[in-house]
A and B are shown apart, each in its own frame.
Chain A
Amino acid sequence: MIKRRSFLIGAAAGAGVLGLNGGRLLAAPSVLSSSVQLMPREGSGPRIVICGGGWGGLTAARHLREEIPEADVILLERNPFFWSCPMSNKWLIDVVDTAFLTHDMLAPAQAHGYKLVHCEITEIERDKKQVRTSRGVVDYDYLILSGGIRNDYEAWFGNDQTAIEQTRRNFPSAYIPSSEHIALKNKLKNFKGGVIVMTLPPPPHRCPPSPYERACLMAWHIKTNNIPGKILILDPKPRIAPIGAGYKAAFDELYPDIITHVPNARVKSVDPFNKRISTEAGDFDFDDAVLMPPHQASDLVWRADLIGKDAEGKPTGWADMHPRLYHANSDEDVYIVGDSMGAISPQFGHYPKSGHVANYIAKIVARNIAQRVRGEEVVAELPDNLCYMLVNGDPLEAISVEFLYDVGPDGLVRQTQIDIDVRTPDLMDEDFVWIKGMFDDFLV
């Protein structure tokens, strides 16, 4: 058995090099060719390729293996290990440590029998039902795009790469796992005083209540260390939302001399060299900043050519997808899971771009693909969402928002939002229970 498999892998790799590269790279190991077949098919079932190993992708991989044991599930992920954005604000002030956020991805791959390949995805060729990666080409029967978001710096700077680089390096957004989170934490620890500006992305954006949480916890650090610093939140929205009353109480009562919330402050221009930002609510100079540019669907959705268009034919920035079945409108075999998802309903727009929703949708998509594979009826299911937001460092007090969904008689999804504005320690306790349940679902 082992012998036969070794032989087959060798044969496939060899064929790739000779067939596609004409022997040009014969000197290098064949696996270093991006044209080689990434992996031979295994199992009697469909091959399902998942692009992106975050909350959505890891969840989909596990549940697909459980729903369809004969499926060949391949998870493609660019990062070397798992870093959780949920709870990362709390990590800024050491409520949790780095080990809490970082996780081994090999363990769940081994436990559930899917293949994890660390690579960069370079092209998605839906016409050929294959994905090109830095490690080779992989074909699929079903494709799941779960790449999260990309920072739309172009909205501020066009193609001025110098300004983008200056902004990313000096005033990182830290909304996508990378060095940026660590840079932000170091920035905070070394902060000696002055004005920190925080730009909030316009909706829809990743984790809507979390920029305010970040402001609170940074302010808590500033307050407890008696640093002469201020935080200016430049919010494109007319008011704090969600959990507006709870956040306002925290700002006014816990950080009255530190946090200033500026509504209707949509960014007009950013000068990262002279540390100046121009908004519809005025111009602001800053000493330091957390510059969060607008968010849009991950590169993957753009590469797959599945971005929606608005009435004027301009890209919406988000996936053009079925709001109840989560596959692309133009390609039933490609599913979009998590933050890249497009609008769901005219009543509320997008599902909250949260880890909770990505996990929930991934499980639904796993069931829906299994139903298709078995020739069963596909049952449309709805997620819910739950966010706990820490506003105080001592005692640890959190507020929360819950979203519930159902379908109206017109067939459209409707949202019910429940803000809990009273900050309490028990909400923080529930947050830990919540994330343990999540991690147990896709990281174990």
Chain B
Amino acid sequence: MTSSFEPDRRRVLLGAAGAALGAALPLSGARAQELATTAEAQPDAAESDRIAAEFLGGVAPLAEGLAMELPATADNPAAVPLRVHVTEALTEDLWCEELIILAELNPLPLACRYRFSAATGAADVALRLRLIRSMEVRALARLSDGRVLEARAAVEAGVGGCGM
């Protein structure tokens, strides 16, 4: 057996390669859960309600006509699938102008805003939300005839961060 192939002093550079790689990597995915965050859940729906009122502009929302698909339990709070769509047929004379999604207790409740046009012919979107805790998700859609449609659903999110 040849022992001369053994290095005399075997120093291991642990971490050096890792640190270099880390700098180049996006901070994302599961490991994000380990990073400290200043994100804080909203104490209540007040901020969400304020944004909703601004969107409504005094119009009373209708509880029919906007469908929301949201799982009752979020396996992964960092990517909760959500689909929202206007159920009635949209035409060149009737379209959805604007649609907002509110994650009521997230630090910034306005998750996103969509705008469509008379050319779109549909208002049917899906996306993935990251949720800081269990909460209600709310969607409001304004049609070109002035009506505002509303849908809500609650989602149970497991404990732990959501990468926010």
Contacts and interface: CB of A to CB of B under 8 A. Distances in A.
Given A372-B6, A375-B7, A380 B14 contact: yes
Contacts, number: 92
A380 B13 contact: yes
A214 B25 CA distance: 32
A348 B30 CA distance: 9
A168 B29 CA distance: 38
A162 to B, nearest CB: 40
B12 interface: yes
B11 interface: yes
Contacts of A416: 25-26, 28-31
Nearest to B27: A416
B18 A407 contact: yes
B15 interface: yes
A439 B14 CA distance: 30
Interface residues of A, number: 38
B21 interface: yes
Interface string B8-36: 10111111111101100110111100100
Given A238-B75, A407-B22, A416-B25, A347 B30 contact: yes
A417 interface: yes
Nearest to A45: B5
B31 A382 contact: no
Contact of B22 (A47, A347, A373, A406): A406
Interface string A303-342: 0000000000000000000001100000000000000000
A62 B14 CA distance: 25
Contacts of A415: 29-31
Contacts of A374: 7
Contacts of B7: 371-376, 378
B36 to A, nearest CB: 12
B13 A407 contact: no
Interface string B57-81: 0000000000000000001000101
Given A406-B22, A415-B31, A417-B30, A379 B16 contact: yes
A406 B28 CA distance: 11
Contacts of B5: 45-46, 141-142, 372-373
Nearest to A332: B10
Given A407-B22, A408-B34, A417-B30, A46 B13 contact: no
B2 interface: yes
A381 interface: yes
A411 B29 contact: no
B1 interface: yes
B126 to A, nearest CB: 10
A139 B14 CA distance: 30
A440 interface: no
A379 B29 contact: no
Interface of A: 45-47, 129, 139, 141-142, 238-239, 245, 324-325, 347-348, 371-382, 404-408, 411, 413-418
Interface of B: 1-2, 5-8, 10-19, 21-22, 25-26, 28-31, 34, 75, 79, 81, 128
8 contacts: A347-B34, A372-B6, A372-B7, A380-B12, A406-B18, A406-B31, A416-B30, A418-B28
Given A47-B2, A378-B7, A415-B29, 18 more contacts: A46-B2, A129-B1, A141-B5, A142-B5, A245-B128, A324-B12, A373-B5, A377-B13, A378-B10, A378-B13, A379-B13, A382-B17, A407-B18, A407-B22, A416-B26, A416-B28, A416-B31, A417-B30
